Structure 1
Amino acid sequence: MSLPTHFKLNTGTKIPAVGLGTWRSEPGQVRQAVSFALKNGYTHIDAALIYGNEHEVGQGIKDSGVPREKIFITSKLWNTHQPNAAEGLQKTLDALGTDYLDLYLIHWPVRLVPNEFNQLLPVNPDGTRCVDRSWDQSETWRQMEELYKGGKVKAIGVANWSISYLEELKKTWTVVPAVNQVELHPFLPQHALKDWCDKHGIQLEAYSPLGSEGAPLMSDSEIQEIAKKNGVSAATVLISYHVNRGVIVLPKSIKESRIVSNSEVIPLSIEDMKVLNGLAAQGKAKRINTPLWGWDLGFDDWYSQ
């Protein structure tokens, strides 16, 4: 069985099944990582304004010598820019050194209110985030639809959206999100969310597929056993898990050897997939990325999936 190298979005565009994530890639390192990845077969780069490294990502793209039209570039509208999505997009385009994005996502279904202390991660005097609880996400999506119609973004979508938020957005959308990028791995498989997105033609993307630094995924005995049986590393099993599910996967690394190995995916047997899909239900459910703006976003129901 051969695995797909691309998936088709609801726009008709093909998106590479494996992309290079750039979250937490440090300044001075991400430029080289992006350039190396593109020179070694990657054609999909996932970025975001809040990562604070889009300028270097853009430099890495330029360094690679790969033509822009051969690269699928994703970025994300940050929370403080939700009242003015066009401004947020322009900041990203300027940093990346491109005049369009292949995919633009609303990074979180929450608006943060910038203040004099911080324009991107503002906090209240008590240390909580400056969240505008009254903000209507349908207004952010309306702006995203306008950007899509304007041509500077070839597809639009969301990130970190639960079923409850998608159900609410469905009441007003005129363009169905092409993608929902969320934390996904065998300890957080989000079966119900995948079923909902599949039903509505929304492609899922997996970030933190290896569970992030310090997570127990890589050392899990059942995952290790599947890796041993297939003659590959645990990382290869975890990355392959998503492509076998029909999910885009975004492993992140700045190490050249890991960048190469992370692009390798293998077919997994029905039995292997059954084990991986069932780990969370055995009591191993774990979310790695917990936002400081709270659980009112519908994330609590993801643990039960």
Structure 2
Amino acid sequence: MEYFELNNGVKIPVIGYGTYLTSPRMTEKSVSTALEAGYRLIDTAQNYGNEHEVGAAIKKSGINRSEIFVTSKTQTSGYRSTKAGIDASLDAAGLDYFDLMIIHWPNGNDLETYHALEDAYQEGKLRAIGLSNFNHLQVQEIIKNSQIMPAIDQIETHLRWQQWGMHEFLAQNNILHEAWAPLEEGSGSVIGNETLKQIGAKYGKSAAQVMLRFYVQEHILAIPKSLNPQHVKDDIDIFDFNLTEDELKMIKAEDQKSSESGWPTSMMMEEKD
């Protein structure tokens, strides 16, 4: 595994395994498969309802807890509910700490919510804190009114919406850009893309593997998800080749500034001509 370094010095794997829309019944098995394949970052959320199963898979894996990076996300608004939610999530997962907790989306009471994350960080319950689906104005509001810099902003990022405006802003503020829906949630836009397939043929890799390698080289953390064990293994098999500068440019040229989900619309203001 390779690692990025967050702005507080914490090391984070350059690729993780996502559990969005994975039912609790399937989560423990799928996370176990991911850990066996070599993933060391698991992404969950209060909203997913599967924190318990993620924790169970980690315990059963036999892997030292310090080697696994666990992210969860708030489903709360305001200081009190967020502090209580963090404790409830830790209890559900059976963990002493999360490596990262982020605000799942802007909710109108973001400063108080973030201040709860800050206090939990100071208490040692969280090793890093951050945001998700925040545009640059919302991120700036957090920065101006908080003591601890967000470590990450997790935003929709994929072949057709590469988010270079936000990427530049986040890099300037030493905040890691994390991609959700990095393979466009299996829509076919990635695996059927001729540019990615052409590049992949050169290296003996799939279009998805080329896209995931692109993120690593562009300093973007991706969290692909699959319930297919072979796809899970293939998605992490991206450390034995490097894309050239020309190939990186070819992939960047595929950007259409087009959202897969259409949500949140506030992120669209980040696009520049």
TM-score by length of 1: 0.84
Which residue does 2:246 correspond to in 1? 271
Does 1:219 find its partner at 2:192?
yes
Higher helix proportion: 2
Please give the alpha-carbon distance, in whole angstroms, between the structure 2 residues aligned to 1:82 and 1:195: 30
CA change 1:81–1:172 in 2 (3 A) is closer
Does 1:84 find its partner at 2:81?
yes
Where 1:84 maps in the other structure, the secondary structure is helix
Does 1:169 find its partner at 2:137?
no
User: Superposition pairs for residues 225-236 of structure 1, below 5 Å?
Assistant: 225-236=198-209
Instruction: Give 1:231 deviation, angstroms.
Output: 2.0
Please give the alpha-carbon distance, in whole angstroms, between the structure 2 residues aligned to 1:66 and 1:290: 38
Please give the alpha-carbon distance, in whole angstroms, between the structure 2 residues aligned to 1:9 and 1:184: 19
Instruction: Give 1:142 deviation, angstroms.
Output: 1.6
- 20, 28, 53: which is aligned to 2:25? 28
Task: Compare CA radii of gyration and give the structure with the larger one.
Answer: 1
Instruction: Give 1:82 deviation, angstroms.
Output: 6.1
Where 1:7 maps in the other structure, the secondary structure is strand
Contact 1:227 1:234 in 2 (8 A): yes
Structure 1: stretches of 5+ with no match in the other structure: 111-134
User: Superposition pairs for residues 38-53 of structure 1, below 5 Å?
Assistant: 38-53=35-50
Instruction: Give 1:216 deviation, angstroms.
Output: 1.8
Across the aligned residues of Structure 1 and Structure 2, the Cα RMSD in angstroms comes to 1.8
Instruction: Give 1:50 deviation, angstroms.
Output: 0.6
Which residue does 2:230 correspond to in 1? 257
Please give the alpha-carbon distance, in whole angstroms, between the structure 2 residues aligned to 1:16 and 1:277: 23
Flag as ranges the 4+ runs of structure 1 deviating above 3 A: 79-83, 302-305
The amino acid across from 2:66 in the alignment is E
Where 1:75 maps in the other structure, the secondary structure is strand
Contact 2:44 2:71 in 1 (8 A): yes
The amino acid across from 1:286 in the alignment is S
- 157, 160, 167: which is aligned to 2:130? 157
The amino acid across from 1:264 in the alignment is D
Aligned residues: 271
The amino acid across from 1:301 in the alignment is M
Deviations 1:33-90 (A, max 9, x none): 1112223322111111111211211221122121212211110111456652111111
Structure 2: stretches of 5+ with no match in the other structure: none
Contact 1:81 1:87 in 2 (8 A): no
